[in-house]
Structure 1
Amino acid sequence: MPSPSAAPPEPRTYPFSAVVGSDDMALALVLTTVSPEVGGVLVRGEKGTAKTTTVRALARVLPPLAVVEGCRFSCDPADPDPRCPDGPHPAATASTTRPARLVELPVGATEDRVIGSLDLQQALGAGRVSYEPGLLAAAHRGLLYVDEVNLLHDHLVDLLLDAAATGRSTVEREGVSVAHASRMVLIGTMNPEEGELRPQLLDRFGLTAEVAAPRDPALRAEVVRRRMAFDRDPDAFTARYADDEAELSGRLRTARALLPQVELRDDQLLLIAEVCAAFEVDGMRADLVTARAAVAHAAWHGRTTVTRADIRAAARLALPHRRRRNPFDAPGLDEELLDRLLGEDEPEPEPPQPEDPQPGPDDEGSEPADGSADPAEGTDAGSPAPPSGPGQGADARPPDREPGASSTEPEPEPEPARDQDGPTAAVVPTTLASAGTAYRTRLFTASGVGAGEAGRRSRAVTRTGRSVGAAFRPEPGGRLHLPATIRAAAPQQAARGRAGADVLRLRREDLRTAITEGRESNLVLLVVDASGSMAARRRMEAVKTAALSLLLDAYQRRDKVGLVTFRGSAATLALPPTSSVEVAARRLEELPNGGRTPLAEGLLVAAETLRLERIRDPRRRPLLVLVTDGRATSGPDAVARSRRAADLLRAAGVASVVIDCETGFGLGLARTLALHLGAEHVPVGEVAADQLVSVVHRAAPARPAQPQGRAA
């Protein structure tokens, strides 16, 4: 039986040497190919930047691989695995050569597809227990590629972490006990707007590269020109770059052969340690990866000695995702600090330049031509220019705001609310409170077992996850629970006429579908009173800080967080339900406050937002967090309208929490509002961030557990 996803790369794959504008990504892929011990590559970038195209093109230029003939686990003939399930392989066993393998791991793959499982054809047809290898076995000694790796389910991430840490994959399930070698180069691509990676998995990638669409119009035109030429005639386009591909493949083989001869001196190793310590990276893996990548970079350039240019190129790719940074800081590296730490590079021997009698008055034209690199040279990146993509430009982080005179003198009382609503009501005095430093929140989960979209927060019955039982559910799409199916069919075999070595006789009523339990994501909708009564600087700062912290936690756990604000005479959906930290940070930082209190409008906008989200995603459980002092001062019958809006939310079954921000001698307005909402009322004098998060922890809505049948 052929190994899964073992087909060689298609001949119509876009050539690796034809990719332009992704120099850092190309260099990182090359280095981890020269030295697989570097540990793989994570490519971060916006959509449409040829991340997947470049990774798939890499497989075409990889040197071929010698494997034991007939071994499903790609054992090396020179050093076969003594514990190979298809072994043991004798010393003189036959070998064969095949192309290097790029195995793609889909985000929605099941656990048994990744690690392997019982061969159903052998079990049900011949009655033998046989192991069918999974994707980890197919990727041994090759590349394992995960597109949108940040969307990979937690239980699959755990499997990858285990294989990456031990170099072996162990299967203990369904009567199968198998362990096999699984040493592969892990390559992942992701769009940061869709969420971050778990720190444990992030650290397993040796190198990381940031990619962005080029801003140079000429370069963008060249990208489009090449892609259109490839789409028009793939064979002719590929043939045009055949010599470049062959040269690149030969250079990779030469670099691999040269790698053991490259010398890394003790003083250079000490310099690498100083660089890693200066950037305050966690753990020692950064030092090791930087050293290995520097050696690979030297071999790639045909040198047997490591230079500071090699160390610089390695540090630029190995350190950005490992340095300590604030939660909302974009990843990146201070290259000026890196240059100061490395100092001047040793002069490399260069061929003598012929004397040019012309350099006199025309000096300004010759200098740039001598010192600038060809933008098409994506692999020669000893000292590449810093990328202009995310994390390096003006949008790397929200601007820090210095509190000015307007923010240091907030209006504590909503005196302007005494005026009548009119044309001047839109012109209200505003202040701007900055959020504090975001922090990691405690995990809050919905009680019970839900059935929402896969995420990382609350327990839920999902299509992927760990098997927790079995039920008779013959509808299509479910995963067969083989042991439960066999147990259900076994008592009926005699009545069905099975005798001796006959195959197992199954009927429809024997089939059992696995019940899998994973984690779901939730929607937390913050409805914040930004009127004059909330203008006290400490209150708004605490609210903003808590909102940013909840968003950070939701970003990591696949949740959605929305923000509705109301002030003046209207309410605004300031932040539609999202998982983008960068956008959310900017919106919350720029949130003004002041003016009257249109409480009813805020609740109605929240109700409409939840209604639309329920249509888009009916299984996601929402939680409404209302931060207010309960006052309603905008428009006629403001109090009555706000209570009617609260009744509407309660009738819709929205679980809610009211954070009462009224201080001093209160009127109990927020408590009355909580009764209309059917919400928990939490009197808080000042909305401290830790108090707000603890309230959300206590009040996450519960959903009754789904009935789960068990196999007899």
Structure 2
Amino acid sequence: MIVTYPFSAVVGLHDLKLALVLNAVSPRVGGVLVRGEKGTAKSTIVRALSAQLPAVDVVPGCRFACDPGAPAPDCPDGPHDAEAEGVSRPAALVELPVGASEDRLVGSLDVERALTEGVKAFEPGLLAAAHRGVLYVDEVNLLHDHLVDLLLDAAALGTCYVERESVSVRHAARFLLVGTMNPEEGELRPQLLDRFGLTVEVKASRDPAERAEVVRRRLAFDADAEGFAARWAEEEAVLARRIADARTRVAGVRLPDARLRQIATVCAAFEVDGLRADLVTANAAVAHAAWQGRDSVTTEDVRAAARLSLPHRRRREPFDAPGLDEALLEELLERTSGDDDDPDGGPSDGDGPDRPSDGGGPDRPSGVDGDGPSAGGEAGQHGLPDQARDGAGSPEASDSAAGGDAPRAGGRPMDAADDSADAGDGVGDGVGAGALRVAGVAAPYRVPLLEVPGVGEGAAGRRSRSRTSQGRATGARHPSGRVRDLHVAATMRAAAPYQRERGRNGPGLVLRGGDLREVVREGREGNLVLFVVDASGSMAARKRMTAVKTAVLSLLLDAYQRRDKVGLVTFRGAGAEVALPPTSSVEVGAARLRTLATGGRTPLAAGLTRAAEVLRVERLRDPARRPLLVLVTDGRATAGGDVDRAAALLEGTAAVVVDCESGPVRLGLAVRLAARLRAWLVPLDSLTDLGSVVHDHRTQNLTRPQSRRKAG
């Protein structure tokens, strides 16, 4: 028997405990997204939650967990006897692996029964198993796009539709969606992000006493899991009873009009998109009131709900981390709390049953203030109103972390440093090389698709054409070698006409090697997009650095949306440096770009050489991921080595040269550089014009990016 680490034994993580408990009290809250650095017990506490959920009654033998009191009329295992007595079982915790197949998620044809009995039957997937339980996705931000699309449909409709391989089935799929992710590995698609009702930012404690207690408890659990769980059994039982009581109470909790107007005011002030935030906040506030033992929602409940439901929904610019300005939240709550709740609205804030009572409890850490669980009902342990408030930073904090240059709504440049001040940095001739400037950045814009030619076999993404085992099935074909992805329906159709002449006289099919068909899948891959940016004085002197930074930021945003890895090489002065090693965290690249200083000579050859070194190393690390070089320069070279020799190191690499030269007199240096690299040439100004003509030095033709889907 596998023993799960007790929920009550997790040290700290007050916001996360509260978010999980609120969802356990009211599934209508809509799930939890847990963002945080690695090694912060995200997976541990989510798995521990399932033990605290009340058992569910199901129809005996139903693979879709139908409620005997209200069985689904269209259940594939139905119709069910309305008078049949149900059986009780624990709520399911279903884990969706990042590398799961589409068949495993939604279900497919039951191959065993099809081949042995000759009947068409449906084999349920993970969405069916998670119905009325918890669907847990670890590293949800790494989930393949086609699985995300299926998950979105099921989460939005509460129903799973399966139309494939001669199978047409639909069944209920209502579940508590819990996902964990490490932001360093890339952000989540906005569509899926909005499906999570609540979000929590998790950080490891910097308190030595608390960290020591975490290690102490974990070592004790690893040494004797059953004994450790037994010491926390009473705490777990108390918590489970409180959740069950709150679930019973939640249906009777009232949401006064004053509190509803308060929720609407807060959501409008934070400029959230749509009305889902209002609904989620209202449901979370009702659940919080039930958890606190109140029969009416108060301002305290609205505060707790807003802190968890709004950080990932507030309108923000690309690459801004989710967060909430808590000072603004308090101001809004204070401004809208003039209408008192009804006198019979239950205990006032601070008088609920969840305030600290005793200080006892097993393994109570000494020196940790309210972070270890003790007797049931302690406020600090389950994420009650005294939860830690360091989980979500304000927008100002996010901007500060990004170098103070975060874009603002309406396209106003960030930290609008006037590019005219950069004119003193010289024009690539060393004049003023010691003076460095940091240009501002305007709001990013949509850019055309820059695509690596040919068909690759890299990681799933959204940029270049790819053969992938995770893509959508578009047909079937005769296998050229060993069958690796059998197309069951096509194989059966190929064999069916010959069963009589093959002497079939019972269930099943008689197959031959020529009947086998494999799936043809088409998809797109993510690439390694390496930006090589000229940060010399010649770029600054022509007042182009703001436009250059904005263009690169826009390309970074495009890389994020297309699931690319990105790297950043800059060159100025005497050499080049890797400002950002190749990573999936595009946000880090945006932060480095905003603080990029300009000035000095133009060592173009050094930049190309450093880019070649980065690509060589990455080919060894990830040979399947094809690179795309994006060189942003005006083509000048006033320092460093031989440009032609450096360009030869990049032979065979798909490249795009963004020409930053401006003015009435142009030397055409970037055009000649693009010819050396056999790269697409994209004028900087044309990045905002999706229909602009691009000169392709690979084919010596003029192409339109939208018609050929090649370059900028």
Residue 457 of structure 1 aligns to a residue in which SS? strand
- 8 A contact 1:623–1:700 mirrored in 2: no
Instruction: Name the counterpart of 1:106.
Output: 97
Q: Distance in 2 between matches of 1:545 and 1:133?
A: 48
| Residues 1:87 and 2:92 aligned together | no
Mapping 1:323-334, distance limit 5 Å: 323-334=314-325
The structural deviation recorded for 1:620 is 2.3
Q: Distance in 2 between matches of 1:404 and 1:131?
A: 63
The structural deviation recorded for 1:680 is 3.2
Residue 271 of structure 1 aligns to a residue in which SS? helix
Which amino acid in structure 1 is aligned with residue 511 of structure 2?
Answer: L
CA RMSD of aligned residues (A): 3.0
After superposition, the C-alpha distances for 1:491-517 in whole angstroms (9 at most, x for unaligned) are 44345332x434211234432221222
Instruction: Name the counterpart of 1:312.
Output: 303
Mapping 1:692-703, distance limit 5 Å: none
Instruction: Name the counterpart of 1:241.
Output: 232
Residue 179 of structure 1 aligns to a residue in which SS? strand
Instruction: Name the counterpart of 2:365.
Output: none
Which amino acid in structure 2 is aligned with residue 321 of structure 1?
Answer: H
1:488 to 469, 479, 494: 494
| Residues 1:671 and 2:671 aligned together | yes
Instruction: Name the counterpart of 1:644.
Output: 645
The structural deviation recorded for 1:575 is 1.8
After TM superposition, the structure 1 stretch with the greater mean CA deviation from structure 2, 289-298 or 405-414, is 405-414
| Residues 1:35 and 2:54 aligned together | no
Q: Distance in 2 between matches of 1:656 and 1:410?
A: 27
Which amino acid in structure 2 is aligned with residue 450 of structure 1?
Answer: G
* C-alpha distance 305-662 of structure 1, shift in aligned 2 (>3 A): closer
The structural deviation recorded for 1:473 is 3.2
Instruction: Name the counterpart of 2:680.
Output: 680
Q: Distance in 2 between matches of 1:254 and 1:387?
A: 30
| Residues 1:408 and 2:421 aligned together | yes
Q: Distance in 1 between matches of 2:191 and 2:138?
A: 18
Instruction: Name the counterpart of 2:604.
Output: 599
Which amino acid in structure 2 is aligned with residue 657 of structure 1?
Answer: V
The structural deviation recorded for 1:312 is 0.7
Instruction: Name the counterpart of 1:534.
Output: 539
Which amino acid in structure 1 is aligned with residue 258 of structure 2?
Answer: D
The structural deviation recorded for 1:115 is 0.9
- 8 A contact 1:432–1:592 mirrored in 2: yes
Which amino acid in structure 2 is aligned with residue 620 of structure 1?
Answer: R
Which amino acid in structure 1 is aligned with residue 384 of structure 2?
Answer: A
- 8 A contact 2:54–2:240 mirrored in 1: yes
- 8 A contact 2:128–2:173 mirrored in 1: yes
- 8 A contact 2:576–2:603 mirrored in 1: yes
1:155 to 131, 146, 163: 146
Residue 410 of structure 1 aligns to a residue in which SS? helix
The structural deviation recorded for 1:667 is 3.4
Instruction: Name the counterpart of 1:115.
Output: 106
Q: Distance in 2 between matches of 1:50 and 1:290?
A: 26
Q: Distance in 1 between matches of 2:117 and 2:279?
A: 50
- 8 A contact 1:435–1:542 mirrored in 2: yes
- 8 A contact 2:566–2:586 mirrored in 1: no
Q: Distance in 1 between matches of 2:428 and 2:165?
A: 71
Instruction: Name the counterpart of 2:382.
Output: 379
Instruction: Name the counterpart of 2:360.
Output: none
Count of paired positions = 661
Q: Distance in 1 between matches of 2:88 and 2:226?
A: 25
After superposition, the C-alpha distances for 1:58-117 in whole angstroms (9 at most, x for unaligned) are 011111111111111111111111111111112211311111110111111111111111
* C-alpha distance 444-672 of structure 1, shift in aligned 2 (>3 A): closer
| Residues 1:70 and 2:68 aligned together | no
Instruction: Name the counterpart of 1:657.
Output: 657
- 8 A contact 2:32–2:200 mirrored in 1: yes
1:516 to 512, 518, 521: 521
Residue 137 of structure 2 aligns to a residue in which SS? strand
Which amino acid in structure 1 is aligned with residue 322 of structure 2?
Answer: P
After superposition, the C-alpha distances for 1:321-380 in whole angstroms (9 at most, x for unaligned) are 11111213221111111112222687828789xxxxxxxxxxxxxxxxxxx983342324
2:552 to 531, 547, 550: 547
Instruction: Name the counterpart of 2:161.
Output: 170
- 8 A contact 2:30–2:176 mirrored in 1: yes
After TM superposition, the structure 1 stretch with the greater mean CA deviation from structure 2, 518-527 or 212-221, is 518-527
- 8 A contact 2:629–2:653 mirrored in 1: no
The structural deviation recorded for 1:260 is 1.4
Q: Distance in 1 between matches of 2:269 and 2:134?
A: 33
After TM superposition, the structure 1 stretch with the greater mean CA deviation from structure 2, 324-333 or 438-447, is 438-447
Q: Distance in 1 between matches of 2:330 and 2:538?
A: 51
| Residues 1:276 and 2:267 aligned together | yes
After TM superposition, the structure 1 stretch with the greater mean CA deviation from structure 2, 694-703 or 299-308, is 694-703
1:436 to 428, 439, 442: 442
Q: Distance in 2 between matches of 1:23 and 1:597?
A: 52
After TM superposition, the structure 1 stretch with the greater mean CA deviation from structure 2, 656-665 or 143-152, is 656-665
Extract unaligned runs of 5+ from structure 2.
342-346, 353-367, 373-379, 406-413, 697-702
Which amino acid in structure 1 is aligned with residue 678 of structure 2?
Answer: G
Q: Distance in 1 between matches of 2:447 and 2:670?
A: 26
The structural deviation recorded for 1:556 is 2.7
After superposition, the C-alpha distances for 1:446-492 in whole angstroms (9 at most, x for unaligned) are 56643221012333221112101223338678332012211332344
Which amino acid in structure 2 is aligned with residue 375 of structure 1?
Answer: D
* C-alpha distance 464-655 of structure 1, shift in aligned 2 (>3 A): same
After TM superposition, the structure 1 stretch with the greater mean CA deviation from structure 2, 585-594 or 101-110, is 585-594
- 8 A contact 1:454–1:519 mirrored in 2: yes
The structural deviation recorded for 1:293 is 0.8
TM-score calculated relative to the size of structure 2: 0.86
Mapping 1:540-579, distance limit 5 Å: 540-579=545-584
- 8 A contact 1:43–1:188 mirrored in 2: yes
Residue 77 of structure 1 aligns to a residue in which SS? coil
- 8 A contact 1:39–1:206 mirrored in 2: yes
Residue 544 of structure 2 aligns to a residue in which SS? helix
Residue 459 of structure 1 aligns to a residue in which SS? strand
Q: Distance in 1 between matches of 2:503 and 2:509?
A: 10
| Residues 1:633 and 2:638 aligned together | yes
Mapping 1:89-238, distance limit 5 Å: 89-238=80-229
* C-alpha distance 587-613 of structure 1, shift in aligned 2 (>3 A): same
Q: Distance in 1 between matches of 2:48 and 2:597?
A: 49
Which amino acid in structure 1 is aligned with residue 643 of structure 2?
Answer: S
Which amino acid in structure 1 is aligned with residue 679 of structure 2?
Answer: A
Instruction: Name the counterpart of 1:710.
Output: none
After superposition, the C-alpha distances for 1:514-543 in whole angstroms (9 at most, x for unaligned) are 122222112222222222222226311111
Q: Distance in 2 between matches of 1:398 and 1:322?
A: 23
Instruction: Name the counterpart of 1:469.
Output: 475
After superposition, the C-alpha distances for 1:189-212 in whole angstroms (9 at most, x for unaligned) are 111122222222111111111111
Instruction: Name the counterpart of 1:367.
Output: none
* C-alpha distance 484-387 of structure 1, shift in aligned 2 (>3 A): same
The structural deviation recorded for 1:398 is 2.7
| Residues 1:292 and 2:286 aligned together | no
Extract unaligned runs of 5+ from structure 1.
1-9, 353-371, 419-424, 705-712
* C-alpha distance 391-484 of structure 1, shift in aligned 2 (>3 A): farther
- 8 A contact 1:22–1:211 mirrored in 2: yes
Residue 140 of structure 1 aligns to a residue in which SS? coil
- 8 A contact 1:196–1:556 mirrored in 2: no
